Amino acid sequence: MAMQLGHQIAVDFDVPARMRDGAILRANVYRPAGDGKWPVLLTRLPYGKDLPGAGGGMDPAQAARQGYVVIIQDTRGRFASSGEWDPFRNEAQDGVDTIEWASKLRYSDGNVGMFGASYFGFTQWITAVQQPSALKAMVPFITWDDPLQGVLFRGGALELGTTANWQTMMGLNVLMRRHQNDPDPRNLGHAVYALVQDMDALGKQGYWSLPLKEFAPLKRNDVSPSFFETIEHPMERAQVDHMTILGKHEQASVPAFNAGGWYDIFLKGTIANFKTMREHGSTPQARQSKLIIGPWTHGGVTNPIGEMNFGFASTAGFIDLKIDFISLQLRWFDHWLKGVENGIQDEPPIKLFVMGANVWRDEHEWPLARAVETRYYLHSEGHANTLNGDGTLSITSPQEEPSDQYHYDPNNPIITHGGALLMSPEYPAGPRDQRQTESREDVLVYSTPPLEEDVEVTGPVTVHLWANSSAPDTDFVARLVDVHPDGYAQNLTDGIIRARYRNFEQGEAPSLIEPGRAYEYEIDLWATSNLFKKGHRIRLDVTSSNFPRWDRNPNTGHDFGSDDEVQVAQQTILHDAEHPSYVVLPIIPTA
């Protein structure tokens, strides 16, 4: 597992690169000392090249000692780079220009790879689809393909927890640049103080701000016009084309080693990026893309994750006790940028961490070909409310059964507790005990009896829910839970559907629902890999909110973001012969 580090290195700070419109983007360059030419590893980020975390999962000093030029660049309008900050919009053009510049540096051999996490995973993809000739390979880590699936929205609901938190934090550098030539330094101090006050209050107060189109923490600081553009144009694909990879993968010709986490906010996109390139890549190289998924959160790759001890080998620093994530990336780049035959392409394309069993396993396709899609149906005698109710889950299809009911009050929503999050500090991500949430009357709980044998679920998870509401628009949330013998309720994955967008994925325009009429909703819970051990129970929770992760549906049917008052909705979940509600679990046979 030890790296072979050879070169002494030199570091050049604030190296300028001129874009085609004259903007100057600056980067720190780590390179082997002395004369020579080496392949380039590039990352482009808006979070400050000089700040901790700028490596995005890569140690630039280690990579330089192994014979790479590593370039960490501030994106346009951020920190040391000139130009105007407009999130996502300039990254395609600037990425192409930066690769062209990097490939011609005196110490570059002309071959470029890209790396980085989240936003700087996106800067890789949006550059790759422009097909710059010098780009040979990339390692996008915890990033997306579709901004309407986990970045800005999810199932039609606003990703309020992520977007408000991210936009507020990004505002600090906006204010610093805005006041950099201000003759009175107190103006900057006052502006930063006001923003930080809102940052600190976001978790307990700011998220509750209504109406969303006047979202106070961002409105009064004037640091994020893009947030309000999102509110004004909800779920409009044309509005988010500049930050979309979906539908453009065929334009990317280089192989991607995709890395993600079961509790990551961009899990669906990470898997989709791999699957699309592996199956439909435009070149033989692109079709050799790979995927690794750990039990990780967004940026959390050390043990424990949330409240769970997944074992020392679960960490990115000691993957399967065989290799660390930095070395894994460098093996990938050694092959594609240096032509080293190190066997990485002879290995299975997928490495997954199976939670519960707490082991890594190699796979050859996604979804797993041997997985058996199994319906677990919701049942009750009409009182599935709370974990002490009579809700059950089984593979037996329902006959005549009473429905379950609860009130959804947007003024008293279900409060976010764990999951795939990137929110203010009050809301840590990952697995958390759900019993307090499941003790509420507005949560329906359906559980199997204790399992008589181990059951592994690995693959996509979807819920088909028959429901009616007294409201013209409302939300439904579903969560898959592993219940331990001592009662600990470990959340695995969840999802939401906003009623007016119930057929959005089928290309239909949003439409309100008829109060009291039953509709079938499909809720995408994305995916997981978990061994439900003997004696554990499989559980599905159903409710109508998970706030402030997702914005509260006010139940009015009014235009998105316009409400400052809300209504209570009476929700009915059906599970009878004519309206079977169920979760589809991909079961992995034990033999």
d(CA 225, CA 545): 27
- pTM of structure: 0.97
Examine the residue annotation and report whether 109 is marked as an active-site residue of this protein.
no
Reply yes or no on whether 469 is catalytic. Answer: no
Tell me the CATH number of domain 9-149+242-363, given options 3.40.50.1820, 3.40.50.300, 3.40.50.720, 3.40.190.10.
Answer: 3.40.50.1820
Smallest Cα–Cα separation from 393: which of 154, 573, 529? 573
Q: What digits encode the pLDDT tens for the residues 407-445?
A: 999 999 999 999 999 999 999 999 999 999 999 999 999
Question: Mean per-residue pLDDT for 243-247?
Answer: 97
Residue 551: φ, ψ to 5°: -65, 155
Summarised one tens digit per residue, pLDDT across range 204-225 is 999 999 999 999 999 999 999 9
Q: Is the pLDDT of residue 280 over 70?
A: yes
Distance (Å, whole) CA 240 – CA 371: 35
Q: For position 2, what pLDDT does the model report?
A: 43
Summarised one tens digit per residue, pLDDT across range 508-562 is 999 999 999 999 999 999 999 999 999 999 999 999 999 999 999 999 999 999 9
Share of the chain above pLDDT 90, in %: 97
Note the pLDDT of residue 68: 98
Domains 9-149+242-363 and 372-588 share a fold: no
Helix (H) or strand (E) holding 141: strand 135-141
pLDDT of residue 4: 53
By the 8 A CB rule, do 376 and 391 touch? Answer: no
pLDDT for residue 304: 98
How do the domains of the chain map onto residue ranges? 9-149+242-363, 157-233, 372-588
Say which DSSP state 218 is in: H
Q: Which tokens belong to 540?
A: 């599905």
Position 7 scores a pLDDT of 84
Q: What is the pLDDT of residue 5?
A: 61
pLDDT band at 76 (very low <50, low <70, confident <90, very high): very high
CA separation (Å) from 392 to 41, 160, 380, 397, 408? 52, 32, 6, 12, 22
What is the average pLDDT across 143-156?
A: 98
CATH superfamily, region 372-588? Galactose-binding domain-like (2.60.120.260)
CA-to-CA separations, 254 to 91, 141, 330, in angstroms, rounded: 18, 16, 16
Q: What is the mean pLDDT of residues 283-311?
A: 97
Which residue of the set 249, 298, 335, 464 is catalytic? 298
Residue 90: the pLDDT is 97
DSSP, res 461: E
The rounded distance, in Å, linking the Cα atoms of 328 and 344 is: 9
Annotated active-site residue 7? The verdict is: no
Exposed/middle/buried for residue 119 (C-beta within 10 Å: 0-12, 13-18, 19+): buried
Q: Which of 108, 118, 380, 529 is catalytic?
A: 118
Length of the chain as a residue count: 591
Backbone angles phi, psi at 102, to 5 degrees: -65, -35
**pLDDT of residue 3 exceeding 60:** no
Model pLDDT, residue 590:
87
Marked catalytic residue, from 94, 198, 264, 473: 264
- What pLDDT, in 10s, does the model give residues 365-409? 999 999 999 999 999 999 999 999 999 999 999 999 999 999 999
C-alpha distance from residue 62 to each of 3, 59, 73, 574 (Å): 8, 5, 18, 57
Q: Tell me the C-alpha distance between 166 and 420, whole Å.
A: 15
Residue 496: name the closest of 541, 436, 439, 442 by CA: 541
Question: Hey, is 507 helix, strand or coil?
Answer: coil
Query: What is the model's pLDDT at position 456?
Result: 98
Q: Is it the case that residue 487 has pLDDT exceeding 60?
A: yes
Q: Is 1's pLDDT higher than 60?
A: no
Region 8-21 average pLDDT = 97
What percent of the residues of the chain are helix, what percent strand, and what percent coil, each to the nearest 5? 25, 30, 45
Asked if the model's pLDDT at residue 467 lies above 90, the reply is yes
Strands 108-117 and 135-141: parallel
Say if residue 136's pLDDT is above 60.
Answer: yes
